Amino acid sequence: MSKSRHNSKVETIRQILLAARQEFSENGLDKANVQKIAERAGVTKQLVYHYYQSKEQLFSCVLDETSDNAMTAIIALELNHLPAKEALRVMIEHIFAIYENDPEMAALATEGIRFHDNHTTPRNQLVELGPTLTARMRSIIERGVQAGDFSDHLNPDLIFTTASIMVSGTYTNRYVIEALSGMDTRKADQLDTWKEFTINLIMSALTKPSPDQ
């Protein structure tokens, strides 16, 4: 294959994935229309199926690319020069920022939860990169323990999972948050309050009590 043909193929796939991302975030997997995806991408429906055997496979690829972009961005954060408390806060704030800066992320995450619950999916970037991110937060927590800032009574490998669920739930479980707390996280001021509460809760759970407590 010539370089120009290869570049054309890569660009076509990129356009299909971009169009599919928009369609899935707007309509979900069940109601998404492959013909509309093709039209958004400027290709034929047949070409979409040439690259992806089914709508489900295409959705899985969209989820995989989304996870890869988000998790790679977190891995790339420069945190080693920061004190452990600050590094942990920055890492959690960045996870929040990923959702805030990507309007389609919450809808894709919500749909992705249902998809993975009901489908046997191949290994993907969430599975591949998850341990790296867990290890990244573990390293920060261990630094905090050594510095005397964090207690060692919690399993550090579960902290990243807990933080991720709490952050993602801010955007995927807005109805539950509003029903139970009265806070509407669609509003900027209430979202900021919820974010600060979430971060402080995690930090408080880890922070080593002072000797007089």
More confident residue, 116 or 57: 57
211 pLDDT tier (thresholds 50, 70, 90): low
Mean pLDDT of the chain: 90
Q: How confident is the model at residue 129 (pLDDT cuts 50, 70, 90)?
A: confident
Q: Which domains does the chain have, with CATH numbers?
A: 1-52 (1.10.10.60), 62-206 (1.10.357.10)
Q: What is the pTM of this model?
A: 0.86
Residues 6+ apart with CB under 8 A from 213: none
- Provide the b/e sequence for 82-100 (b: ≥16 CB within 10 Å): bebbebbbebbebbbebbe
**Confidence band of 117 (pLDDT split at 50, 70, 90):** confident
Report the pLDDT averaged over residues 125-131: 77
How many Å apart are CA 3 and CA 68, to the nearest integer? 26
For residue range 69-112, list pLDDT tens digits in order: 999 999 999 999 999 999 999 999 999 999 999 999 999 999 98
Predicted confidence band of residue 213 (pLDDT cuts 50, 70, 90)? low
